[in-house]
């Protein structure tokens, strides 16, 4: 009888999904690290073990893991090697000005050897990686580790970029070799997009994209090369997206890339999990909420540009003066990069007399702020944003319409997609040079926040809550992703 029961239990155990060991390896930017961490937490909730790999300082700056998940997530600290032109203690894009980021990529590439050693000794079942480690897929193949590329960018961004040239006969047939990367081509939707869309770059930004993405930088290779190699080396692409928002684009990239495309949902962070890089988070929120509680419902515009990007000093001054001219109550977050560009001080960016003139209706907050908590407060009626995909996700959880000022790269394409969805309005800019006026800033703010003509933006943003704020819907996407990890690992026999 005991033997029979044991056999039954063994048979039942065979039917249960194997508990996996999954390594996560994001790029060194908090706009990437945080979505990777959110995805890790979801996977850990299914009982799988996560090795979350980054640098010591980045790991120290992460929000605390919920206690019930602490035993399932191990943080693996790989120190960066010293690189010329990279400031000491710079371990993330938020630590350096934009032109120094290629040197951070050199340091990141230096993780190849220590990461290889870790993978060899710990033998995870899967490695989930970002766009930057072009050298990683061959290492994983050799070690018989299954590979998944996780895109923190929107599906529309991937659809606009199209597949790596090496994998696509179609691209050469549509665009003569090399011409796809001409700035003028990037100002209209690609010919492979079969539906009408506004998703494209203004000329001034297209020129920046060619320089910053397609051309070789100080790291010795282009970001396009990195992206191409990581995509070509994956078994499938996981995308921070869902069918309800980007269904057409997800179907398109499935055809373009000739790879399984797995939407993992939008990974909205919960207010309870909100953490930050500030040791005094609780007292910080206490000060902020005291001011927010005194404001009228839906009256405040929250202004923030994320941890990775900031407007130029000239643009910031014009934006601030436009905010002042709008007459709206505001909460403006001004963050410095830890390695300041040109030795610039935060106070140098603020227009002279701005704080004094707006003290009765606005807050200028210097440093980290609990963004999810602020966006969730009833007094906040709109979000003046750079259109980072994670920030957009946070805003739509609470139905906040957007006043958009995208700064570079995928933010531009996100802004065009969101305009199509009528969930916000972009500050008008000159197509040739990107210039704009404080008057247009003030007009766009008033349009989205209070004008009758802007009601469509407020209504459409509220509609987004049914998707972005639906935890059960978003969790189902992650559940399907985890099922794929459980059922489709690389067959290599005993490792």
Secondary structure of 3-45 as H, E, C letters? HHHHHHHHHHHHHCCCCCEEEEECCCCHHHHHHHHHHHHHHHC
Give residue 239's pLDDT.
98
Q: Among candidates 487, 67, 494, 495, which has minimal Cα distance to 235? A: 487
Mean pLDDT of 380-384: 98
* Six token digits for residue 272: 């309870």
CA 177 from centre of chain: 31
Rg of the Cα trace of the chain? 23
Q: How many CA atoms lie within 13 A of 284 on its CB side?
A: 18
Predicted confidence at residue 50, as pLDDT, reads 98
Kind and range of the H or E run holding 267: none
Whose CA is closest to 376, among 271, 295, 479?
A: 271
Residue 236 has pLDDT above 70, yes or no: yes
For the record, the structure tokens of 11 come out as 């048979």
Q: What is the dihedral of CA 447, 451, 454, 457, to 10 degrees?
A: 90
Distance in angstroms (rounded) separating the CA atoms of residues 477 and 42: 10
> When comparing pLDDT for 391 and 342, which is higher?
391
Residue 271 has pLDDT above 70, yes or no: no
d(CA 464, CA 398): 8
- Catalytic pick among 32, 48, 377, 386: 32
* pLDDT score for 249: 98
**488 given a catalytic annotation:** no
Cα–Cα dist 163/152, whole Å: 16
For 281-468, give the CATH class.
alpha beta
pLDDT band at residue 211, thresholds of 50, 70 and 90?
confident
Distance between CA atoms of residues 378 and 299, nearest Å: 9
The residues, ordered by sequence, that sit 6+ positions from 24 with a Cβ below 8 Å of its Cβ are: 36, 37, 39, 40, 50, 51, 52, 53, 127, 128, 129
pLDDT at 357: 95
185: which residues sit within 8 A by CB, 6+ positions away? 175, 179
What CATH number belongs to 18-268+471-487?
3.40.50.2000
Whether pLDDT at 435 is above 70: yes
Burial class (CB in 10 A: 0-12, 13-18, 19+), 493: exposed
95, 109, 125, 130: the active-site residue: 130
Query: What are the backbone angles phi and psi of residue 3, rounded to the nearest 5°?
Result: -65, -40
Q: CA–CA separation, 459 vs 452, rounded Å?
A: 11
Length of the chain: 495
What integer is the mean pLDDT of 234-262?
Answer: 95
How many Å apart are CA 139 and CA 151, to the nearest integer? 20
Average model confidence (pLDDT) across the chain: 89
The Cα–Cα gap between 50 and 434 comes to: 43
The answer to whether residue 336 scores a pLDDT higher than 70 is no
- Looking at the chain, which residues constitute the CATH 3.40.50.2000 domain(s)? 18-268+471-487, 281-468
Q: Does the structure show a pLDDT above 90 at 492?
A: no
Nearest to 75 by CA among 95, 55, 89: 55
Q: What are phi and psi of 175, to 5 degrees?
A: -120, 125
Please name every residue paired with 330 in a beta bridge, in sequence order, or none if there are none. 301, 362
pLDDT score recorded for residue 408: 87
Question: Residue range 85-107: average pLDDT?
Answer: 94
pLDDT at 178 over 90: no
Residue 282 has pLDDT above 90, yes or no: no
Active site residue 32: yes
At 1, the pLDDT band (50, 70, 90 cuts) reads very low
Which helix (H) or strand (E) element contains residue 435?
none
Nearest Cα neighbor of 237 from 135, 138, 159 is 159
CA distances, 374 to each of 173, 266, 346 (Å): 49, 19, 22
pLDDT confidence of residue 269:
79
First to last CA, the chain: 35
């Amino acid at each position: 009888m005991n033997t029979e029961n044991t056999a039954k239990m063994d048979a039942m155990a065979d039917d249960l999904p194997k508990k996996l060991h999954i390594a996560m390896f994001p790029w060194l930017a908090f706009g990437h690290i945080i979505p990777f961490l959110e995805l890790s937490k979801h996977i850990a909730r299914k009982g799988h073990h996560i090795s979350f790999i980054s640098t010591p300082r980045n790991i120290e700056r992460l929000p605390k893991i919920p206690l019930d998940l602490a035993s399932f997530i191990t943080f693996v600290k790989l120190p960066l090697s010293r690189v010329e032109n990279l400031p000491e203690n710079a371990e993330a894009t938020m630590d350096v000005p934009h032109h120094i980021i290629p040197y951070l990529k050199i340091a990141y590439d230096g993780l190849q050897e220590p990461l290889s050693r870790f993978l060899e000794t710990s033998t995870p079942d899967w490695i989930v990686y970002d766009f930057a480690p072009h050298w990683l897929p061959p290492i994983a193949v050799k070690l018989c580790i299954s590979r998944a590329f996780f895109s923190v960018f929107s599906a529309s961004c991937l659809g606009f970029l199209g597949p790596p040239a090496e994998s696509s006969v179609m691209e050469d047939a549509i665009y003569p070799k090399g011409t796809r990367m001409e700035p003028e081509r990037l100002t209209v939707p690609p010919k492979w997009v079969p539906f009408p869309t506004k998703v494209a770059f203004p000329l001034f930004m297209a020129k920046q994209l060619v320089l910053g993405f397609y051309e070789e930088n100080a790291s010795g290779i282009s970001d396009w090369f990195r992206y191409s190699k990581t995509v070509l080396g994956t078994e499938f692409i996981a995308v921070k997206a869902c069918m309800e928002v980007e269904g057409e684009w997800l179907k398109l990239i499935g055809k373009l890339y000739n790879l399984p495309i797995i939407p993992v949902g939008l990974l909205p962070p919960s207010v309870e999990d909100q953490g930050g890089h500030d040791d005094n988070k609780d007292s910080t929120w206490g000060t902020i909420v005291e001011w927010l509680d005194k404001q009228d419902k839906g009256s405040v515009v929250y202004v923030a540009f994320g941890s990775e990007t900031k407007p130029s000093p000239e643009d910031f001054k014009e934006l601030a003066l436009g905010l002042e001219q709008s007459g709206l109550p505001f909460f403006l977050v001004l963050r410095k990069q830890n390695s300041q560009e040109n030795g610039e001080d935060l106070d140098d960016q603020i227009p002279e007399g701005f704080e004094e003139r707006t003290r009765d209706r606005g807050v200028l907050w210097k440093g980290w702020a609990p963004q999810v908590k602020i966006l969730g407060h009833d007094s906040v009626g709109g979000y003046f944003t750079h259109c980072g995909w994670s920030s957009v996700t946070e805003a739509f959880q609470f139905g906040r319409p957007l006043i958009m000022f995208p700064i570079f790269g995928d933010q531009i394409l996100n802004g065009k997609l969101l305009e199509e969805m009528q969930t916000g309005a972009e500050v008008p800019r000159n197509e040739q040079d990107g210039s704009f006026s404080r008057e247009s800033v003030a007009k766009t703010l008033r349009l989205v926040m209070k004008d009758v003509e802007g009601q469509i933006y407020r209504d459409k943003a509220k509609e987004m809550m049914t998707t972005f704020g639906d935890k059960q819907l978003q969790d189902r996407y992650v559940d399907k992703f985890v099922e794929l990890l459980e059922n489709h690992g690389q067959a290599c026999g005993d490792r």
